[in-house]
């Protein structure tokens, strides 16, 4: 059989998006095995580039928190990283003046009131002549007057806007009267394998897609009340009771979390085998939750590009080895 005809044993991975919000994407990966699913998950966590604060120079810190603690907290603030693809990694910098590797950020706040002042991500000041990277900013960023150079101003947004729902700024530290914080920071491009602050996701997990089969003959022996109790035994809406046909039907199979509650209920009722639940070996339900640095769809697309590049590199290396073996006459 020629390659044009296609090898029936060859797997053809496919992705179907089930749900997508501003922060989360859920999709089904089919036509592959666990090795590829786990590789995709690991690439999502550790190989998708983002931007985070990497260097911190402490000029003044009279707060109750030590320098290293604040620097660590600054590094963990997610920065919008849509421009990460246009930046170079610091270790790849070739000395080109037009290539941007560093985005300067400052934090200057002094408490002059008797009330405790919250220092948040809204107080970070994006500096320098990097106007092309003005999108490198904290998530849900609504700059305060402090972010425009007035260290003693209020921490409220300079434009007078209010927080939208749960999109509040990230608390960095608190200051009492006459306490001051002054730091110069440098944000750089990086990946999660180097430090967790560059991870684009808060969650990246997958589970096997379940294949659920109801034993109709055994289900017919249950009363209507027992059927309803069986449906309710599952903590997720896997089954539903059809009032018209008076039958239990599989409603949302992908919501099954392998908790085993419905199987346990069937055994307690003396009906083992009432339902058969098996994990499909070539279908995986992914849930990816973004930190806000990148949109969830961008994270998945970038991860697929990275994975594809790795596979191409591996293929090229194998082709070179094969060519060398053929030249040497090795079988």
- Three-state SS for 89-105 is CHHHCCCCCCCCCEEEE
pLDDT of residue 212: 96
Q: How many structural domains comprise the chain?
A: 1
- Please check whether residue 231 lies inside any domain of the structure: no
85: CATH: 2.170.120.12
- Please check whether residue 247 lies inside any domain of the structure: no
- Please check whether residue 228 lies inside any domain of the structure: no
Q: What is the pLDDT of residues 285-298, one digit of tens each?
A: 999 999 999 999 99
- Please check whether residue 142 lies inside any domain of the structure: yes
- Residue by residue, DSSP assigns 117-181 as EEEEGGGEEE-SS-GGGTT-SBTT---BGGGGT-TTS-SSBTT----BTTBPPPEEEEE-TT-EE
Which residues lie closer than 8 Å to 230 by C-beta, 6 or more apart? 222, 239, 248, 262, 265, 266, 269, 274
Q: Helix %, strand %, coil % for the chain, to 5?
A: 30, 30, 40
Residue with structure tokens 């070996």?
281
What's the domain range around 140?
51-194
Helices 224-233 and 261-268 cross at an angle (nearest 10°) of 150
pLDDT higher than 90, residue 279: yes
The pLDDT of 141-157, averaged and rounded, is 83
What predicted TM-score, i.e. pTM, was given to this entire model? 0.83
pLDDT of residue 87: 85
- Please check whether residue 203 lies inside any domain of the structure: no
Closest to 230 in 3D by CA, of 277, 268, 259: 268
Mean pLDDT across the chain, nearest whole number? Answer: 89
The pLDDT of 35-53, averaged and rounded, is 96
Under 8 Å between Cβ of 29 and 15? yes
Q: What is the pLDDT of residues 95-128, one digit of tens each?
A: 655 556 888 999 999 999 999 999 999 999 986 5
pLDDT higher than 60, residue 7: no
- Please check whether residue 102 lies inside any domain of the structure: yes
- Please check whether residue 9 lies inside any domain of the structure: no
- Please check whether residue 72 lies inside any domain of the structure: yes
């Amino acid at each position: 059989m020629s390659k044009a005809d296609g090898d029936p044993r060859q797997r053809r991975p496919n992705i179907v998006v089930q749900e997508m919000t501003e922060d989360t994407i859920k999709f089904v990966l089919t036509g592959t095995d666990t090795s590829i699913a786990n590789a995709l998950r690991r690439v999502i966590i550790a190989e998708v580039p983002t931007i985070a604060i990497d260097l911190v120079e402490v000029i003044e810190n009279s707060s109750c928190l030590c320098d290293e603690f604040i620097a660590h907290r600054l590094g963990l603030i997610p920065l919008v990283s849509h421009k990460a693809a246009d930046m170079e990694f610091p270790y790849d910098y070739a000395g080109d003046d037009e290539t941007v590797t560093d985005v300067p950020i400052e934090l200057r706040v002094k408490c002059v009131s008797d009330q405790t002042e919250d220092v948040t991500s809204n107080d970070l000041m994006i500096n320098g002549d990097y106007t092309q990277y003005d999108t490198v900013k904290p998530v849900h960023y609504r700059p305060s007057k402090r972010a425009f150079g007035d260290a003693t101003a209020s921490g409220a947004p300079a434009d007078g806007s209010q927080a939208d729902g749960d999109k509040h700024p990230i608390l960095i530290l608190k200051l009492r009267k006459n306490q001051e914080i002054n730091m110069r920071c440098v944000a750089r491009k990086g990946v999660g394998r180097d430090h967790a602050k560059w991870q684009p996701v808060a969650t990246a997990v997958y589970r096997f897609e379940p294949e659920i089969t109801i034993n109709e003959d055994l289900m017919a022996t249950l009363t209507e009340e027992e059927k309803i109790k069986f449906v309710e035994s599952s903590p997720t809406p896997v089954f539903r009771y059809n009032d018209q046909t008076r039958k239990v039907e599989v409603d949302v199979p992908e919501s099954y979390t392998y908790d085993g509650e419905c199987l346990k209920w069937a055994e307690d009722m003396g009906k083992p085998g009432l339902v058969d639940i098996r994990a499909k070996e070539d279908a995986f339900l992914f849930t990816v939750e973004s930190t806000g640095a990148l949109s969830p769809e961008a994270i998945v697309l970038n991860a697929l590009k990275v994975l594809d590049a790795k596979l191409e590199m591996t293929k090229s290396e194998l082709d070179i080895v094969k060519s060398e073996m053929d030249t040497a006459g090795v079988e």
